[in-house]
Structure formats: C-alpha cells, structure tokens
Amino acid sequence: MANLTEEQKQVVTRELLEHVATLKTLRSDTPGVPGQSLLCAPNRIHSQFWKHHSCWRPKPDAGEEEKGGYVFCHNDLGQHNVIVDPNTLKINAIIDWEYGGFWPEWFEQPYWKRKGPGAPLEGEEDDRDKCRDWLLSHCDEVEMHHLRSLRDIGLDDGY
C-alpha cells in the first residue's frame, strides 16, 4: 500500500475500513485472545522500553463492566502490513497479527493513513498513556524473563 498514489490509497482504504468494521463485529466479554491467559500489548504501548519484558493477565473482573465490550483489533494496521494487488487495488492480505486480539475498540488506531511505524508521529494523537492506564487497571503485569540471544550463548559468529 505504501507505493500507491493518494487516489489509489483512498480506494484501498475503503476496502480496509470494511475489514476493520467486520473485525469490530467480533466481540468478547474478556480482553485478549480466546484460550490464552496472557495479553501481548501492542508495540506502540511498550515502545521506549516501558515494561517491554511484560505480558498482561486480565484481572478476573476485567470484563464485568464491559460485557461484549471488547472488539477484535489488529493493533498494527499500518500500510506496511496491508498487501495490495497494484493492478486491481484489492487487498490480498493483512499480515503481522501478533498484537491482534480483543481490546477496547479505541485501541485500534488508523495507522494505515500514513507511512511509518505503528506509533504516533508528531502531531498525531498519542494514546500510549491511555492504553497503559487501561492495562494497569484491567490487568496484572507478568514480567517475562529475558530470552538469551545467540550472542548470549556464544553461537553468533559475526553475522
């Protein structure tokens, strides 16, 4: 999607908004991924090293106030994650779903509107504090141990 003209991007955006609307029809009483006990917060929330070694376990009452209030979000829906056929302008795939799951609807941000990472740029709404406050009030932090890299265990031969 990144290499299209602005007019072409508008065509693709209309289709993308249909997909986002469909995702929002998928609802849950509890946050996260069904069958999983931990949430992985979107990268934009833990960027700048805010609890970047943490996952989150929803508190038992996390859904009591918001029955059916969680919608399915991709959480990294930038142009780099939308694969478009340049001839038909149809979306062939939406990739990188590692931050997907059921979240409050406002977690999904329209990063497809511009090039760049799934984090707010200067002049855009910065919702990181709001997201972090939501995590701290609705979930318990589970700090994950640092995974050793190939370099840490002596198997990195300079590549």
17, part of any domain: yes
Q: pTM score > 0.85 for this model?
A: no
CB of 30 closer than 8 Å to CB of 70: yes
Q: What is the pLDDT of residue 44?
A: 83
53, part of any domain: yes
Among candidate residues 133, 110, 134, the one with its CA nearest the CA of residue 120: 110
131-148 residue pLDDT tens: 999 999 999 999 887 767
Taking residue 67's Cβ as centre, other Cβ atoms within 10 Å add up to 11
Q: What is the pLDDT of residue 156?
A: 64
60-119 residue pLDDT tens: 876 655 678 899 999 999 899 999 999 999 999 999 999 999 999 999 988 888 777 666
Terminal Cα-to-Cα distance of the chain (whole angstroms): 31
Determine the average pLDDT of the residues in 9-27. 96
Residue numbers of the domain that contains 138: 6-143
**Which percentage of the chain shows pLDDT scores above 70?**
87
153, part of any domain: no
154, part of any domain: no
**How many domains is the chain built from?**
1
29, part of any domain: yes
Per-residue confidence at 154, pLDDT binned at 50, 70, 90? confident
93, part of any domain: yes
What is the chain's mean pLDDT, rounded?
87
